[in-house]
């Protein structure tokens, strides 16, 4: 019977070891708060292009509660596309990708406010391939 408490203690230590902190923060669409360390954790927001030759994203508005934001664009068409963020003195662009290539991504630390996300490929933003990114927005 003395072996059971030791076994329980070992199990508890194994569980606690797996609960360490993650310096990068969440890497999913899970919402975070906009105070303290959570505001600095990386929040990943995913979007896609429309299939075929339509020059548009699947969303018009993205909301981030964290100030560290990564936009990840999955290109569903054979037309080259990329993702970019601009506004409030920020201008960041991801790599141009086509079809089944890896996604285009852009990461930035942003102040609370409104930004534009868009496709920086010539003519795509003017054709309507853009949207609004609201940073510091409640979930």
Domains of the chain (ranges; CATH) run 24-135 (2.60.40.420)
pLDDT, mean over the chain = 79
Q: Average pLDDT in the 75-81 region?
A: 92
Backbone angles phi, psi at 70, to 5 degrees: -125, 125
pTM for this one?
0.71
pLDDT band at 16 (very low <50, low <70, confident <90, very high): very low
Q: Given its phi and psi angles, is residue 18 left (phi above 0), alpha (psi -120 to 50 degrees) or beta?
A: alpha
DSSP 44-94: EEEEEBPSTT---BS-SEEEESSSEEEEEEE--SSS-B--EEEETTEEEEP
Can you give the pLDDT at residue 83?
A: 98
């Amino acid at each position: 019977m003395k072996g059971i408490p030791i076994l329980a203690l070992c199990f508890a230590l194994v569980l606690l070891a797996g609960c360490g902190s993650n310096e990068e923060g969440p890497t999913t669409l899970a919402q975070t708060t906009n105070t303290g360390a959570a505001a600095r954790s990386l929040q990943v927001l995913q979007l896609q292009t429309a299939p075929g030759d339509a020059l548009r994203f699947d969303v018009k508005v993205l909301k981030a509660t964290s100030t560290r934001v990564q936009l990840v664009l999955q290109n569903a068409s054979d037309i080259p596309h990329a993702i970019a963020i601009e506004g409030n003195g920020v201008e960041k662009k991801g790599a141009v990708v086509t079809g089944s290539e890896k996604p285009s991504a852009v990461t930035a630390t942003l102040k609370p406010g409104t930004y534009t996300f868009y496709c920086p490929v010539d003519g795509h933003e003017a054709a309507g391939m853009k949207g609004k990114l609201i940073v510091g927005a409640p979930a």
